[in-house]
Amino acid sequence: MSNKPLITIITVCYNSVKTIEETIQSILAQDYPAIEYIIVDGGSKDGTLDVINQYKHKISRIISEPDNGIYDAMNKGIHLAQGEVVGMLNADDIYANNKVISTIMKVMSDPSIEACYGDLIYFKTESPEKTVRYWQSSDFSKGAFAKGWCPPHPTFFVKREIYRQYGVFDTSYAMGNDIELMMRFLEKYQIKSYYLQSILVKMRMGGVSNRGLKNIIIQNRNILLAASRLGVPIFTMSFFMYKLFDRFSQFIKKPRKGELYAK
């Protein structure tokens, strides 16, 4: 039995038969020896559970039942988590390499660090080796969310105690719940975070919140509402200008040689 601190990784899925195996394998391939792996399935009907059950002896906990959406499912996983650190890897995502978790846990071993995040790349399902978008984050500074800044949530790892102190995902929002949570932790409660300048996660294009103009509008409206509720001042014009510029730059910017690996 490993004497390393335990980390919990939660995968939320629903009818993800085409991608769930790659996600599972990505986690099982990690070189860190103390991973609690929880899968929360929304009651899939397409064979997703058949794939999951092929690996059940390597998965700590499997839940399959109807839920009230992805963030309700994530909350179920958080409430079950036993690890000192909690991370999310959804069924369309994979880790950039097998050292991501050990790299994260090295950072999180610092008692003063309460959250850690890094960079993310998007790829097309048919061309996983080709980077379509490169989401390069940066160090957090107070007021950053008000200007439209946000780290990529799949790379966001948090000490479990933070969820206990400041709450889990607010499911009253239709979209943007992950941004609300990170805004709450970083802006309102000012937890100590660390930006790891490495690509940690690869994500397939076509996520729900980015699928069509209507969803983008709903998500941004919810972010503005969440900021108001949290008491985070938003400069509406600079918020949207930054987001437009940042989104455009993600399609232009390319990772430097060697950046596809956690350091």
Write the pLDDT tens digit of every residue in 106-124. Answer: 999 999 999 999 999 998 8
pLDDT digits (tens, 9 = 90+) for 144-200: 888 888 999 999 999 999 999 999 999 998 888 999 999 999 999 999 999 999 999
pLDDT at 206: 67
Radius of gyration of the chain, Cα coordinates, nearest whole angstrom: 17
Q: For residue 173, which phi and psi values (nearest 5 degrees)? A: -95, 145
Q: What is the mean pLDDT of the chain?
A: 88
pLDDT digits (tens, 9 = 90+) for 196-220: 999 999 999 865 545 556 777 777 7
What is the mean pLDDT of the segment spanning 64-89? 97
DSSP the chain: ---SPPEEEEEEESS-TTTHHHHHHHHHT-S-S-EEEEEEE----SSHHHHHHTTGGG-SEEEE---SSHHHHHHHHHHH--SSEEEE--TTEEESSTTHHHHHHHHHTSTT--EEEEEEEEEETTEEEEEEEEE------TTTGGGT----GGG-EEEHHHHHHH-S--TTSSS-HHHHHHHIIIIIS---EEEEEEEEEEEES--GGGSSHHHHHHHHHHHHHHHHHHT----HHHHHHHHHHHHHHHHH--PPTTTTS--
pLDDT at 221: 79
Half-sphere exposure of 243 (CA within 13 A, CB side): 19
pLDDT at 243: 65
pLDDT at 194: 98
Asked which of 23-37, 62-76, 91-105, 126-140 is least confident by mean pLDDT, the reply is: 126-140
Q: For residue 247, which phi and psi values (nearest 5 degrees)? A: -60, -45
Q: Are 24 and 92 in contact (CB under 8 A)?
A: no
pLDDT at 1: 59
Q: Are 85 and 197 in contact (CB under 8 A)?
A: no
CATH of domain 7-252: 3.90.550.10
pLDDT at 130: 76
pLDDT band with cut points at 50, 70 and 90 for residue 233: confident
Domain ranges of the chain: 7-252
